[in-house]
Structure 1
Amino acid sequence: MTSLQTTTPTAAVNPPEPELGQPYVRNENACHDLSIRVRDLSLWYGETQALKSLDIDIFQKNVTALIGPSGCGKSTFLRCLNRMNDLIPGVTIRGLVEMDGRDVNAVKMDEVALRRRVGMVFQKPNPFPKSIYENVAYAPRMHDLVSRKADQDELVEKALRDAGLWEEVKDKLQQPGTSLSGGQQQRLCIARAIAVQPDVILMDEPTSALDPISTATIEDLMDKLKQQFTIITVTHNMQQAARVADYTAFFHLGEIIEYNDTQMMFSSPATKKAEDYITGRYG
């Protein structure tokens, strides 16, 4: 994982503008196969505009961190990627969010299928009021991914292993998911998300309610999971973004001010606004 730079960030002098949707600097160690393409994305809650003409290309099998002050549009943007904003009355969305060449906002888009491909892990762990086993097995069964009990058992074990939880719960799979600690519950929610074999995992401040040990466990897990999945995470923790992310996007007042290789973002940001935020001058 990337370590936070100890030097004071210094904004680049008149950096060249990147191509539309691209980072200022590419991380040469990262995958650059396109996962999600966003163009001219705007969103309103009633008369209030929350997102303003966003352009960003998100790459496969990387961790992309979204940083910025509270209320700047990070979580709103995250919810655009699996259409969870559709559940909020009075929302208007314009622009393109594209996966595999298909606009996720198209009328013919199957929202249930989309949310299987783009999973979500929330700020507060929210296990189902079911057993640990059923928390993982329920959605794959509903999506007809498994039917035989032996296949379910195998899927549950794999998802729990991938989430780093199997050894802790293998002897108590029939106990309620809510009986686990906060950090274990969050890993159970991650296991639940990856059990349906998504392409993308969205994480909305997944460690903000956890203790430092659980936070470190989740961060290590993200580093492993990016070998299989594209991960997009919202965080207010600058050190966490620097540790886990390959790319970082800085949001401010509904706009993406800077999208950059994470090491460059925290050592030599391309914009003064990003430098001011990272160094704590506001936020």
Structure 2
Amino acid sequence: MLNEQTVESRDKPHGVQRQPAPGGPVSRNEKANHELSIRVRDLNLWYGDNQALKNIDIDIYQRNVTALIGPSGCGKSTFLRCLNRMNDLIKGVRVSGRVEMDGRDVNDARMDEVALRRRVGMVFQKPNPFPKSIYENVAYAPRMHDLVGRKAEQDELVERALTDAGLWNEVKDKLQQPGTSLSGGQQQRLCIARAIAVQPEVILMDEPTSALDPISTATIEDLMDKLKQQFTIVTVTHNMQQAARVADYTAFFHLGEVIEYNDTQMMFSNPYTKKAEDYITGRYG
């Protein structure tokens, strides 16, 4: 997070705070919701002896899109996976610091990982539908979590999730066909429907449009704008234009650190740090 050591000596207009609170953005988007969703403090992560994240402080706000940007290998996806403990699945990972939801550290040994991943869903870079029907892709997890019982409840949930994911009208007459029979963009929306079907609070998206064509990308971006009315979204992207279009807040990662965290309009129009400005303007990355 920004501090006296990481901020280059540049005079910045617009009344930007010189010493933002730990974890808070440099300046807030006053039109956005500022209720706290996830609080991260002093987060460090190692793959074996290699430290991938260094002293991360960041607050993520409810019902906003927060974009994580930065060069390849700078820790964006690693940080994203810390939010629902997906890094636990990687051998040799060690984590310190706190990732809090409702004041509870998700890394606490008493935390139920299955319950956590229901609250914090994930959509991956490459669409990965289950080898099941379109219907079962959506209904399976809610049924396993006892969120629905009768067939009528399942039908209602499947229709609602597919509608919220912008896919219902395209698939309502072929719900028993395999999810893998859909196009790439449709598969990714199916994965989004699958994620939101278990009623999460947060949706993590790791470069969700990088494997998609421009039309499918635009569809997913429009969908993210709609979904943030219900969910907190944290997304990794290498596409600066995409971050500018979809995100309320943007965090710039570099070599495992958060160099700048700001509302997106401010970040892209008048970045607070020289490193962020150089990256956004294409001088490196």
Task: Specify which of 26, 29, 33 is matched with residue 27 of structure 1.
Answer: 29
**Whole-Å separation in 2 of the counterparts to 1:32 and 1:133:** 36
**In 2: Cα distance, 1:182 partner to 1:96 partner:** 36
Question: Could you tell me which residue of structure 1 aligns to residue 210 of structure 2?
Answer: 208
Matching residue of 2:171: 169
Deviations 1:151-177 (A, max 9, x none): 000000000000000000000000000
CA RMSD of aligned residues (A): 0.9
Question: 2:58, 2:19 → 1: CA distance?
Answer: 14
In structure 1, C-alpha distance between the alignment counterparts of 2:244 and 2:139, rounded to whole Å:
34
> For residues 48 and 123 of structure 1, what CA distance do their matches in structure 2 show?
24
**Matching residue within 191, 194, 197 for 1:192:** 194
Structure with more contact order per residue of length (Cα contacts < 8 Å, sep ≥ 6): 1
Which residue number in structure 1 is paired with residue 3 of structure 2?
none
Change (3 A) 1:147 1:246: same
TM-score, normalising length: structure 1: 0.96
CA contact (8 A) 1:12 1:268 kept: no
Q: Tell me the equivalent position of 2:11.
A: 13
- Equivalent positions of 1:88-127 (< 5 A) are 88-127=90-129
Paired position in structure 2 for 1:146: 148
What is the distance in 2 between the residues matched to 1:90 and 1:235? 26
Report what 1:258 is aligned to.
260
Provide the rounded CA distance (Å) in 2 between the counterparts of 1:239 and 1:228. Answer: 24
Decide which of 37, 40, 63 is 2:39's aligned counterpart: 37
**Structure-2 separation of matches of 1:25 and 1:215:** 29
CA offset digits 1:12-56 (Å, max 9, x no partner): 616512111000110011000000000000000000000000000
| Paired AA for residue 192 in structure 2 | I
Identity of aligned residues (%): 85
Q: Aligned pair in 2 of structure 1 residues 12, 132: CA closer, same or farther (>3 Å)?
A: farther
Amino acid at match of 1:19: A
TM-score by length of 2: 0.95
Query: Contact between 1:31 and 1:62, CA under 8 Å: does it hold in 2?
Result: yes
Q: Which residue of 2 aligns with 1:178?
A: 180
Partner of 1:130: 132
- 3-state SS of 1:65 partner: strand
Q: Aligned residue for 2:69?
A: 67
Q: How many residues align?
A: 273
Per the alignment, residue 226 of structure 2 pairs with 224
Q: Distance in 2 between matches of 1:17 and 1:160?
A: 44
Deviations 1:169-200 (A, max 9, x none): 00000000000000000000000000000000
The answer on whether the counterparts of 1:137 and 1:156 sit within 8 Å (CA) in structure 2 is yes
Residue number in structure 2 paired with 1:244:
246
